[in-house]
Every structure is written in structure tokens, then in C-alpha cells.
Amino acid sequence: MKRVLIAPIDTLLFEEVMTFVRGASRSRYDYVGNFYRKEDQYNSALAYVLLCLATEKLVGEIKIGANGKPYLEEMNCHISISHTNKLVSIGISNENIGIDCEMESNINDVIVNEVFSISEKTQVMKNDFLKVVFWTAKEAISKLYNEDWYSSPSTELIYNANGELKDAVSSEVYLHQYSFRKGCICVASVSPDQPSFQLVTEKEISEFLDNFAKFFSKN
């Protein structure tokens, strides 16, 4: 089982999301408070909401392991979290998983020259959107292995005519990407199973929060 929830960022639900996180996970709420910008606070809080929405229950506290890798102490599953200036995404699975999301506009030529291999750069010259596809793949692999892979061109990513994404260096890794609003979400795992990608609307988030608001009011 590999499930990915994706939510476009809209801070209209800021107060509702923060209220939920404060009631469900005090440590996450305190962590969110470390961010200065309202958007960053919302991104981090919404990631917690999406984890609860994916499991349809309160997931407890998010713990931080080695190199900042998150895990849920109270649930027998693996998680990965990513957010950027337009998107928030979470991955939840019964096996190790890495996920990353990014907008195409955030990946410039400086990044490409620093971290892409010669072969990857050649492919990007033919298809500019592969900049964000390859970048999210590198980050997803680094999160899967909990290593700093993305800061050097240590992958040899190949995007074939069938839209399949592979890494010639780590042939045991399966990569699945999903494009949305000029952005890309990539999942890395050691299982070939296709992840379930779900776009979550503001209405769905609001309805979920309303249900738990009633629960919190009784406790």
C-alpha cells in the first residue's frame, strides 16, 4: 500500500487547521510555531492534517528520527512529508517511502548545473519539464535512503518514451511521478506497486476538520 495525498496551498483555512493541530498534536503545533511565515506554518500544519485524513483517524505525534526522517510512533506504517510554495504532499505506506514535491519555476539552471549528471542535463535540454521531475526524484531517493544524495549528481535518471522514470544507479528503486499545476510529486520506494495519488480539495479538508471539531469540543 502506497498512498499519496496532495493539497494545493490556500491559507483560507489557516485558523481551522491550526486549531485542529493544536488539539490533536501539541508537539506538532509547537513545531509549526517555529516557522516565521504564515504560509510555512500552514504547510507544516496541513501536512499533519493530511496524514490524519489519509488514515481517517488521529495519528498521534510525529517523531523525528535520524537526519530528520519523520515517523509515527503510534502507527505501524512509514511516512514521508514534502511541501513547497504551492503544494503540500504526504506519503503513507506499509514499507519505506520517500516523497518530494516541487514547482517547475523553483528549479533554475544553477541547480541543474550543480546536481544533474551529464546525461540528465542532455535530457533536460530536450524536455525542460524534466528539471522538476529529476529534482523531485533525487530528493525522493534521498528521503527513501535517509541520505544526502540530492546535493551531488549521484543519480543517472532516465525518462523514457513511455513516461517511465528510472535511476540507472539505484536499479532497485522504483520511481513514480505525478504532474500537477506546473509542479511534480515523486515517490521513491523499493516496491513496483503504483502509488494511489489523491488530490484533496479545500472542501474535503474543511469537512474533515468540522467532524473533528465536534470531537474536540466534547473532550
Count CA within 13 A, CB hemisphere, residue 168: 9
Backbone angles phi, psi at 84, to 5 degrees: -135, -165
| CATH assignment of 1-95+192-219, among 3.90.470.20, 3.30.70.1400, 1.10.10.10, 3.40.50.970 | 3.90.470.20
Selection from 186, 113, 190 nearest residue 153 by Cα: 113
Selection from 91, 80, 84 nearest residue 43 by Cα: 84
Strands 183-189 and 98-103 turn out to be: antiparallel
Q: What are 1-47's pLDDT values in tens digits?
A: 799 999 988 778 999 999 999 999 999 999 999 999 999 999 999 99
Strands 2-8 and 87-93 turn out to be: antiparallel
Predicted local confidence at residue 10, as pLDDT:
79
Query: How many other C-beta atoms are found inside a 10 Å radius of the C-beta of residue 36?
Result: 8
Whole-prediction pTM: 0.91
Q: Do domains 1-95+192-219 and 102-190 have the same CATH topology?
A: yes
Low-confidence ranges of the chain (pLDDT < 50): none
Predicted local confidence at residue 71, as pLDDT:
86
Q: What cell was used for 179?
A: 504532474
Predicted local confidence at residue 151, as pLDDT:
54
- Domain residue spans of the chain: 1-95+192-219, 102-190
- For 102-190, which CATH superfamily applies? 4'-phosphopantetheinyl transferase domain (3.90.470.20)
Predicted local confidence at residue 152, as pLDDT:
55
Predicted local confidence at residue 14, as pLDDT:
93
Selection from 26, 92, 27, 18 nearest residue 64 by Cα: 27
Predicted local confidence at residue 121, as pLDDT:
96
Pair 124, 153: CB distance under 8 Å:
no
